[in-house]
């Protein structure tokens, strides 16, 4: 349980590769997909999201591609996850005003505490740590 989605996994694999092998140079989606046998289209979207979040720098056009823009030590896992998936937390009591439980819910306050703890947990892990090298 609490598994990452493929998209996030693909992102980590891509970042790990860039970090190790092409930190200064561009690498294209196609190339990455081939290297790690990932579905090109999905990887493409993932990298686009990372570019929007300025984790990657995108260079369009022929001979374009991506490279790491923000040093991975400066990005924590909460931020990273939230670029690709929604808000980090075991529930979305906080955000979601129209929780079906409404006033019946008896675990709201404790869940909010755990969610906070969890965010802190992932805040303290940098992307660099996860991506290795």
Question: Segment contacting a second copy (CB under 8 A): 22-30, 52-60, 66-74, 102-110?
Answer: 102-110
C-alpha span between 92 and 86 (Å, rounded): 10
Q: Is 66 in the site for DNA (CB under 7 A)?
A: yes
C-alpha span between 12 and 89 (Å, rounded): 20
Q: Which one of 4, 40, 116, 123 is in contact with a second copy (CB under 8 A)?
A: 4
Q: Which one of 39, 71, 114, 116 is in contact with DNA (CB under 7 A)?
A: 39
For the segment 30-89, give every residue that binds a second copy (CB under 8 A): 35-37, 81-82, 84-89
C-alpha span between 117 and 133 (Å, rounded): 27
- CB distance 87 to 49 below 8 Å: no
Q: Is 105 in the site for a second copy (CB under 8 A)?
A: yes
């Amino acid at each position: 349980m609490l598994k990452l989605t493929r998209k996030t996994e693909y992102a980590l694999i891509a970042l790990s590769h860039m970090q190790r092998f092409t930190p200064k140079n561009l690498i294209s989606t196609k190339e990455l997909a081939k290297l790690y046998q990932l579905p090109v289209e999905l990887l493409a979207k993932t990298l686009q999201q990372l570019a929007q979040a300025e984790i990657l720098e995108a260079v369009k056009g022929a001979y374009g591609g991506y490279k790491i823009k923000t040093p991975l030590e400066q990005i924590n896992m909460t931020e990273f996850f939230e670029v690709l998936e929604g808000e980090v937390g075991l529930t979305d009591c906080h955000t979601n005003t129209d929780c079906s439980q409404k006033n019946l819910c008896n675990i709201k306050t404790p869940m909010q505490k755990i969610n906070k703890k969890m965010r802190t947990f992932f805040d303290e892990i940098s992307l660099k740590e996860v991506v290795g090298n």
